[in-house]
Amino acid sequence: MNKVVLFRIAGGLLLAGASLRLAYAQGQNSPTDLSGEWRRLTNHEDAHERGPGPDPGEYWGLPLNDAERMRADAYNGEVLSTNLYLQCRPHPTGYQQLGPDQMRIEKEIDTINRQLIAYRILFQRTPGDRMIWLDGRDRPSANAAHSWEGYSLGKWDGDTLTIATTHLKESFIRRNGVQGSFRRTVTEHVSLDEPYLTWVLIVNDPDYLTEPLIRSVTFVRAPNLQIPVYPCSPQQEEYRPEDVGKYRVPFYLTGANPYLTEVAFKYKTPLVGVRGGAESMYPEFVAKIKSETAPPQQFTLKPVYNDDSTRIAERIANQAAPAPTYDKVETLHVKGNIFLLSGAGANIALSVGGDGVVMVDAGAAQASDKVLKAIKEVARLPKPATVSNSASPYADVWQSTHSEAPPVIRMIIDTSAAADHVSGNGNIAGSPIFHPIGVEGGDQAASEVILSHENVQQTLIAAKVPVRAQPTNTYFSERYRLHRYFNNEGVEIQYMPHAVTDGDSVVWFRGSDVIATGDIFNSDMYPPLDIDHGGSIQGLIDALEKLADLCFPEYMGQGGTLVVPGHGWISDGSEVGYYRDMMIVVRDRVQDMIDKKMTLAQVKAAKPTMDYDPLFGRQPGATGKFVEAVYRSLTEKGATEKSVTEKKGK
């Protein structure tokens, strides 16, 4: 063998070695490989809770506050039969792994550089694949949609994958009505000791927990395990003939749940133990349990709620509302043609397309400049090129697609007369890019400029807002459809009588499958129920029921029809369903107090919304106003009709 051949062989070997090294380095894409099928080690821990489920009132080991305790005490599992959004609700992140489902983890690979960019997790009862993003991407906007599985970012820390999840829907922490707030976050630590996968789950809930809740579960590799589908189709289940056709929310009034002490009796445990709280997680609690005795028999508990979480509304009741700054105006794509424009007062929904822009609400007047700037930006999004008949398509097509006419706003639809929704009407209508259908001030029959229910127009006239800011077109019937498709879809406006006010509209973009709700639904605050302007709690409940029914979920009660709320983040039917149920619970609690001859002051002192205040009562004074409005709505018979008559008489 000559030298040349020898050197070639040696060189080849060196190259092969280098290639192997390179391949190893590039192939080491994560410290361990979590992909595959996994079988949960059923019931190795908490067999009772993870199998048949916890008993009512079983809160031991949960660091819950009194607001959460009240919420769970009121829970009646029968609600799963009536609320169609809850019937197929999957286990949420933070609980999912504790459930009975098996699990598949797949790798999501960047097709260009073939690096691992995400894990995709699938359970039987998950609406879609839960993505754990590993590519360093940012979190979405605070106004982005929430989901059962949330938005998860992963990062390796040594041999452990740490996952941080936000954007969760409200859902359960324990399957006996202990709820997790939509503000909760979940941290997970996943580690592999072949063939076992340990999953540590930590729930942080600023609304309902006083300390993080840590739990864990173990899976074992189970290659080729089939993860079946979950074809859950909700059905309204009513066992009582008198309830058929009515929507109701089964729940227990405070002090009326007969099952809360069952678990203490059954396990011969003092009540102080089963009622939970952070102290029940610590060893020192053993002495406390031993110092008390278990109840000799089951009885109906009359709970007292008085910890810090019960005073959230009180603490901020007399605080001045912070002055709005409008410094975070943001545009976010919702679905199809529809965008959410937030931070300019109430939410604004925009239909954006070749026909121009339709605005649902105009926001606050002080934010109009920012609104117009945002609309100009969003209206410049790329449009598809049109096919030209020209002999030189290049010139025509390129130029037409690389130059553009100024953005055009065609119309404003007002969902109510509230200033944060409509005070920007005048500024928008007076802007150079506002080119409505027809001529403003011209023949009203030949124009659609600013549209609302007629009661909104009446209210704004009565309030003496400038003419330019008043609706130019009104409707008075149950629904109003724009006279033509706009941006290739039908736009339907539905009247919601005597809901928040007497003039509420929701706007349904039928092709995009998005509904802008105005203040009928707010994702994180109570509605500004206004009895003096024709609002009523029953009208609001009816409106929410109609809205929930209008939404068509994609799968497992989420997605599908998306909702732009009056305030808050992009939502869907399940969140509307929760909101509706809350209204029914609050109505019934207040009605029960009225039936007991309690005065408004006594009702307010009894805090009928206390368990919901951490979620919805964080605006100064809002809780008191809401409770008062519900009380008045239920006591001032005819108040609503009187308000309407008075207004029309003016």
Site of interaction with other proteins (CB under 8 A): 1, 3, 6-7, 9-11, 13-14, 16-18, 20-21, 24-25, 28, 30-32, 41, 43-48, 50-52, 60-62, 155-160, 162, 187, 189, 191, 193, 196, 198, 200, 202, 204, 212-218, 266-269, 273, 280-286, 289
Nearest distance in Å: CB 502, other proteins: 47
157 or 377: whose CB is closer to other proteins? 157
In contact, 194 and 221? CB cutoff 8 Å: yes
**Considering beta carbons, is residue 50 or 410 the nearer one to other proteins?**
50
Could you say which DSSP state residue 398 is in? I
Q: Where are the alpha helices (DSSP H) in 229-270?
A: 262-267
Closest C-alpha to 434, from 521, 369, 372: 372
Q: How far is the CB of 611 from other proteins (least distance, A)?
A: 22
- Minimal distance, residue 5 CB to other proteins, in Å: 9
Among residues 156 and 552, whose Cβ is nearest to other proteins?
156
Q: How far is the CB of 242 from other proteins (least distance, A)?
A: 33
CA distance 124 to 101: 6
Least separation in angstroms between CB 234 and other proteins: 23
Task: Give least dist CB 630 to other proteins, A.
Answer: 37
Would you call 154 helix, strand, or coil by DSSP?
strand
Paired tokens of 532: 């003096």
Q: Give me the least distance between CB of 163 and other proteins, in Å please.
A: 12
**DSSP alpha helices (H): ranges in 62-189?**
66-73, 79-82, 84-87
Phi, psi of 586 (to 5 degrees): -65, -45
Beta strands in 230-355 (DSSP E): 330-335, 338-342, 348-353
Complex with other proteins: residue 133 or 526, whichever CB lies closer: 133
Q: Which is nearer to other proteins, 3 or 597 (CB)?
A: 3
| DSSP per-residue codes, 323-334 | PP-----EEEEE
Q: How far is the CB of 466 from other proteins (least distance, A)?
A: 50
Residue with tokens 């990062």: 155
Residue carrying structure tokens 């009523």: 536
Give the DSSP H/E element, type plus range, for residue 646.
helix 639-649
* Closer by beta carbon to other proteins, 195 or else 441: 195
The residue among 101 and 542 lying less far from other proteins, judged by its C-beta, is 101
Q: Evaluate whether 80 touches 87 at the Cβ level (below 8 Å).
A: yes
Q: Which is nearer to other proteins, 48 or 328 (CB)?
A: 48
| 68-103 burial code (b ≥16 CB/10 A, e <16) | bbbbbbbbbeebebbbbbbbbbbbbbbbbbbbebbb
Cα 87 from chain centroid (whole Å): 17
